[in-house]
Amino acid sequence: MLSVAFRRQSPPYLRRILCFELFSTATSIGPSNKSDLIRPDPPPIRISQTSSAGRGVFATRPITAGETIHSAKPLVTHPSLSLLYEVCYYCLRRKEGKHGVGPGLYYFCSDSCREKSMAFLEVESRGDWSMLNEHCRNRGLKYPLMVKRLACMVMCGAVSSDCLDILQPALLHKEMLPEMEDEFKLLKNAFKKVNIADEVMAFLSKEWYINVLARIKINAFRIELPCGSYEDLLASAVALIGDDAAVGNAVYIVPSFYNHDCDPNTHIVWVDSSDAKVKALRDIEEGEELRICYIDVSMDTEARQKILSEGFGFRCNCPRCLSGE
Ligand SMILES: C[S@@+](CC[C@H](N)C(=O)[O-])C[C@H]1O[C@@H](n2cnc3c(N)ncnc32)[C@H](O)[C@@H]1O
């Protein structure tokens, strides 16, 4: 087991985030009497410093194999460009059959998803995103689209411009900057052409763009959802040819604190939307660090280290890698 150094309690800012992301859906029974609000048990985790991988997530009690440790809702999502009109524009749930949505119209799987999207869509739908989409499509990029959505969410007041600052950023190399600057110009120009007050756009600087992209790069999850129907299967086949099999990407706060292990004790599952469940793969002791895997761990040590180093910027120090397995 990893030797870990952790404080007894998560720092206050992390406790606030845990409360927001994990308990934002208290169950209400009966009329609007506050005493009727039932809060679920707090999840058995705390976020603390590890000895060698920055912050990590630790079990606060024994956890049984197969147990759902907690659920998490994304802060920001974006569908894959090839499935833009085939999955819910908010939660990425696959469209089942024909839902009467016209060509070129976004699909929402429920009134709730439509309502939650209303504010950022009001901003987003004013712009012409064809150049940014084309740029991303040609280069196979997904993250600039998430930055665009986040910018719209900031402009409509749904989130603050620093909402991702708590997450670890990717290390950026000088060679990456020209492409990021091009993307930023495409984004900024699209906003400039529409009627958005300067003060509402004040946060949208090149530094903000690069700062947010660096965090999304290292913390975004690629969401793959099983196909429901034959039509879904066909849509996925088209996506596979045109782009990739993922329905989209999403960034969460709490799941972003899970470190990687090539023999993980925990995994994240998606059933039918971007709502995530973190589950135990085996029995876990109180105080043990919970780790997921970021990559296909069936590869040999050298291949795993190469992908983790090139894609995530770190040398894996998990017991399996240290033993050269
Ligand atoms: C998604 S973040 C995980 C949370 C992060 N430790 C933090 O403090 O916010 C991924 C980063 O955590 C660190 N990390 C994760 N797994 C690791 C591992 N197995 N070995 C070394 N560092 C790791 C690396 O710095 C990596 O870029």
**Please, which pLDDT band fits residue 23 given cuts at 50, 70 and 90?**
very low
What percentage of the chain exceeds 90 in pLDDT? 72
Q: Is the CB of 318 under 6 A from ligand 1?
A: yes
For residues 154-167, give the mean pLDDT: 97
- Quote the ipTM score: 0.99
Tell me the CA–centroid distance for residue 300 and ligand 1, in Å: 20
Q: Return the pLDDT at 245.
A: 74
325 pLDDT above the threshold of 90: no
Q: Is the CB of 257 under 6 A from ligand 1?
A: yes
Q: Is the CB of 291 under 6 A from ligand 1?
A: no
Question: Distance from CA of residue 212 to its chain's centroid?
Answer: 13
Domains of the chain: residue spans and CATH: 12-72+257-299 (2.170.270.10), 76-251 (no CATH)
Question: Distance from CA of residue 112 to its chain's centroid?
Answer: 20
- 247-280 pLDDT, tens per residue? 999 999 999 999 999 999 999 999 999 999 999 9
Asked whether 287 and 260 are in contact (CB, 8 A), the reply is no
Measured N-to-C along each axis, helices 130-139 and 143-155 cross at an angle, to the nearest 10 degrees, of: 150
Sheet hosting strand 289-292, strand order edge to edge = 45-49, 55-59, 289-292, 259-260
Q: What is the mean pLDDT of the chain?
A: 86
81 pLDDT above the threshold of 50: yes
Residue 36 carries which side chain, given as an amino acid letter? D
Q: Return the pLDDT at 299.
A: 93
6 pLDDT above the threshold of 60: no
Q: Which helix (H) or strand (E) holds 250?
A: strand 248-251
Q: Mean pLDDT lowest for which of 15-29, 53-67, 127-141, 181-195?
A: 15-29
Ligand 1 atom showing the smallest separation from residue 167 Cα:
9
Q: Return the pLDDT at 24.
A: 39
Q: Return the pLDDT at 294.
A: 96
- 172-222 pLDDT, tens per residue? 989 999 999 999 999 999 999 998 899 999 999 999 999 999 999 999 999
Of residues 188, 115, 189, 201, the one with CA closest to residue 154: 201
